[in-house]
Amino acid sequence: MEVVRVQTIATTLSNKIDTIPFEFIRPVIEQPAHTTFAGPVPEIPTLDLSDPDTDNLVRTIAKTSSEWGLFQVVNHGVPVDVIKRLQSVGKEFFELSQEEKELYARPPNAMSLEGYGTKLQKEVAGKKAWVDYLFHNVWPPSRNNYKFWPKNPSSYREANEEYAQCLREVVDKLLVLLSLGLGLERNVMREAFGGDDLEYLLKINYYPPCPRPDLALGVVPHTDMSALTILVPNDVPGLQVFKDDHWFDVNYIPNALIVHIGDQVEILSNGKYKSVYHRAIVNKNRVRISWPVFCSPPSDMVVGPLPQLVNEENPAKYKTKKYKDYEYCKLNKLPQ
């Protein structure tokens, strides 16, 4: 059965004001018009990774990872032109003909997330999110399945490989700071997630213009099952984070990387760091695109609260299990 993509639906609705299909209309308790905080947004911390004061960086990352589970990083070392190339080739892919994009479609009932698609997981009452996507691994090279990497534009592979190489240094530095923030040796967290075998899965989220952004969501509320997620946005705002019973807009900072604490870091830290609960809203007139990279342990890696952080006063709050088992439960909405 042919799948109708959201980008196609958006094109057919472009001249029909105030109309979206029923399956995209969220319940009132989820609709952005009713749930987005309208007052002053508290400042979501920004880390300057070039700060020579390591102690200050450690304090800041520990505090924001405990309180927000999300922060932005500037002066991160990824060259601006590398990010621009990543964005350019991703945008070009979604501007291809539908026929060409379908060459990279995620196979039906595939175990892997890789490929071009629309609906990622089953939702209650058959609701849908206003987004199309492309998933593929970008690191380590042994995990890359290039049949899901677009051949058009021709520079797609080079741009993504270059970005992945640069991103690894950022992730390594963040994991060191997070370890130090827990009072641990600098490499504990990185090694607990597999060291050099840490896997990087890229997703491009493509949110077409939506006639009723007040009623729809681009991505429904969730936490990421990864260890860390590093996100590059375009300049169209849309990311929102849930804190203190409110949905807050995340401010766009040019050339910054947005870092999400994921479930595996929360588990490893035994709850000290919080996996951020977040969602994406859409825009009436402009395309929003984001490039999250999910950094996760290898599938057979066993992850649980670090023994150094567990004692009689602070018992383990999470089960220890293989990452692939955690992933299966998360995707199928099963108890952990």
* Residues noted as catalytic: 203, 222, 224, 278
CA atoms within a 13 Å half-sphere pointing along the CA-CB vector of 333: 6
Which of 295, 298, 335 is closest to 318 using CA atoms? 335
Using alpha carbons, list the distances in angstroms from residue 105 to 55, 71, 100, 160: 46, 32, 10, 19
User: What is the distance between the alpha carbons of residues 2 and 219, in angstroms, rounded to a whole number?
Assistant: 22
Number of Cβ within a 10 Å radius of residue 179: 22
What 3-state class would DSSP assign to 240?
strand
Strands (E), the chain: 46-48, 70-74, 115-117, 132-139, 199-207, 219-222, 228-233, 239-243, 246-249, 257-261, 278-280, 288-296, 302-303, 321-322
Query: What one-character-per-residue DSSP string does 202-239 give?
Result: EEEEEE---S-TTT--SEEEE--SSSEEEEEE-SS--E
Is 257 within 8 Å of 60 (Cβ atoms)? no
DSSP 184: -
Write the CB contacts of 160 (distance below 8 Å, at least 6 apart in sequence). 86, 89, 138, 149, 202
Q: What is the dihedral of CA 269, 233, 113, 142, to 10 degrees?
A: -80
Question: What gap in Å lies between CA 330 and CA 324, rounded to an integer?
Answer: 10
Looking up tokens 């989220």, which residue turns up?
A: 205
